[in-house]
Structure 1
Amino acid sequence: MQRLPDWRLPPGVPRGAWDYTQLRSIADDYDAYHADNPLFAFEESVLAETFGEPPTLVGGVSSSGVIADLGCGSGRALLPLVRRGWRGLAIDLSDAMLDVVRAKADAESLPVECVCANLVEMTPDLVADESADHAMCLFSTLGMIRGREHRLTALRHMRRILKPDGKLVLHVHNFWFNLRDPGGPWWALRSLAKGAVGKGGYETGDKTYPYRGVPNFFLHVFRERELRRDLCEANLKVLRWLSLDVARRHALPRPWLFPSLRTNGWIIVCQKE
């Protein structure tokens, strides 16, 4: 693992997120670890419905249709789309994860380009303007970015790389769902209070906890109004707002009934304005 001092960490990347992306063991067993995650099958159905078929097929391979996966991990969401004829653009901060994607793509001769990049620093020299027909940022990757201004920068880059009318699919976690956890109400109260003070750059919804060998993994969990505001400021128009059930197997039934407490998180379909 590449160990950097805190002052050299990339913008928006806290210590726990950096350590997570640099651990090769995380990448090597990523698919096995998440093999039974019910969210992934539902995400795949939403992606297929949202993106549809690639625009032009030549010899069974898309000549112009590109899907960008921002925080692609092992490529588990991108590769099924590439198998249907899209070309893939896999973007991640983890070289180890990209190695996994390359190996999978090479084994099936799939057209996937890999780019190692921090989503906050995804400049045009790394990913050109309007280079993707559609994009996705899943498994709460947006929440792994620390600081609202950094998250806004990442969202603006996501919009920038989309072609006109291109769609972006996001997944994030719901702040208020933590009330259901043991000690969750106290955490929520402390988070609201600390966020109001803002000491040390803390923002309401910032969490650190042990995860897969990383003692201080970072995740920001969102309130709906906060996320809608950020998407609006990034000039991304919301087309669908899907609330997830407790187990993240499907959309929340009766979403009008106490949605803040019942929603595990959201899958949001946006469009470039």
Structure 2
Amino acid sequence: MSQPPHSTTPPDWQRPRGVAAGTWQYVHQRTIARHYDDFVADTPLCELDRRYVLETLSTFSHRPSGIESANSGAAKPLVLDLGAGTGRLALPVSRRGYDVLAVDLSHPMLEQLVQNFAPADDDDDQAGTVMPMRANLVQLDAIADSVADHAICMFSTLGMIQGRANRIQCLCHIARTVRPGGGLILHVHRRWAALRETGGWARLLRSRVRSLCSREAEFGDATYAYRGLEKMFMHRFSENEIKSDLKAAGWTVERIDRVGIDGSDLVTSAWDASGLFLVCRR
């Protein structure tokens, strides 16, 4: 995979659909990819969602996808990992016996994933393989219909997509590529968690005003400094909004779990929730 140079951020009309200026910079920063694994190792949410994904996948039924394993030749169930990054979820999922199609827009992230992935020993016919794919999550037409058993989209990857229509398009693509009866495990940041943050009231008010004054802005949009980037984009959801978006894309929400403010555990109180895990079915 060769990567063209990206010394400057292109204007809106030249960037892929749903990719904000800050996100464009993020996906092309090699230093971010190089240090990503160390960063997530100290992030409680990443350990929590790893456990959540593995435990939830174990409750899903599946049928072999028809893709032959490189280890045993037997077909294994296929999981789509949307926003796979360096493979922090793709790798443990593959070790549980799934083949993983690891999709990300960041070439440096996928390069790091390839370096991280060491094929299992020949006598370990339980492990699956990880297949990297560089793509924009709003434009997944290259993936065939009903090819996957399940999908995961974690660490607020959906919120990194700018524009509600684009986020719904992403969810529609996932629904199209996952077989009927398959599952989706999703994480989003919760909009009202800003009320627990310093200056959160003011940020929510500014977001609301911008959404009323500009067609390009939506309530819940935010830009913030992140790992050396000045304007990283993130959309935070209300519970009703994400449920509506999933329904519009053909998903049925089976379960919603709230993630605590510090990301280390699940909570029952909405006031103490920073985000949501959603388990959905086709």
**Fold conserved between structures, TM > 0.5:** yes
TM-score when normalising by structure 1: 0.91
> For 1:76, which of 59, 73, 88 is the aligned residue?
88
The percent of aligned pairs where both chains have the same amino acid is 37
Tell me, in whole angstroms, the C-alpha distance in 2 between the residues paired with 1:27 and 1:131.
29
**1:85 is the counterpart of 2:97:** yes
Q: What one-letter code is carried by the residue in structure 2 that aligns with 1:190?
A: R
Q: Do structure 1's residue 118 and structure 2's residue 128 form an aligned pair?
A: no
Cα distance between partner residues in 2 of 1:61 and 1:103 = 24
> Residue 196 of structure 2 is aligned with which of 174, 180, 185?
180
How much does 1:231 deviate? Answer: 0.8
Which residue type is aligned with residue 143 of structure 1? G
Shift of 1:105: 2.0
TM-score normalised by length of structure 2? 0.88
Q: Is the 8 A contact 2:184 2:281 kept in 1?
A: yes
1:30-72 per-residue CA deviation (whole Å, 9 max, x = no partner) reads 0011212111222122212221287569866761311110000
- Shift of residue 190, structure 1, vs aligned partner: 2.1
Whether 2:244 is the aligned partner of 1:229: answer: yes
Query: Counterpart of 2:48?
Result: 42
Task: Name the aligned partner's letter for residue 89 of structure 1.
Answer: L
Say whether 1:9 aligns with 2:15. Answer: yes
**Hey, what does 2:226 align to over in structure 1?**
211
Shift of 1:213: 1.3
What is the alpha-carbon distance in structure 2 between the residues aligned to residue 62 and residue 40 of structure 1? 31
Could you tell which deviates more after superposition, 109-118 or 49-58?
A: 49-58
SS at match of 1:119: coil
Other structure's SS at 1:238 match: strand
**Letter of the 1:119 counterpart:** L
Unaligned runs of 5+ in 2: 122-127
Structure 2 contact 9–25 (Cα < 8 Å) conserved: no
Paired with 2:134 and 2:96, the residues of 1 have a C-alpha distance of 24
Provide the aligned C-alpha RMSD in A: 1.9
Which digits, 9 at most, give the CA deviation of each residue in 1:166-185, with x for residues without a partner? 11111110110001111111
Amino acid aligned to 1:176: W
Distance (Å, rounded) in 2 between the aligned partners of 1:61 and 1:36: 37
Q: Give the Cα–Cα distance (whole angstroms) in 2 for the partners of residues 164 and 80 of structure 1.
A: 25
Contact 1:60–1:85 (CA under 8 A) maintained in structure 2: no
Q: Provide closer, same or farther for how the CA distance between residues 61 and 41 of structure 1 changes in structure 2, counting only shifts above 3 A.
A: farther
- Deviation of 1:4 after TM superposition, in Å, equals 4.2
CA contact under 8 A between 1:170 and 1:268: conserved in structure 2?
yes
Residues paired across the two proteins, number = 264
SS of 2:224's partner is strand
CA apart distance, 1:188: 1.2
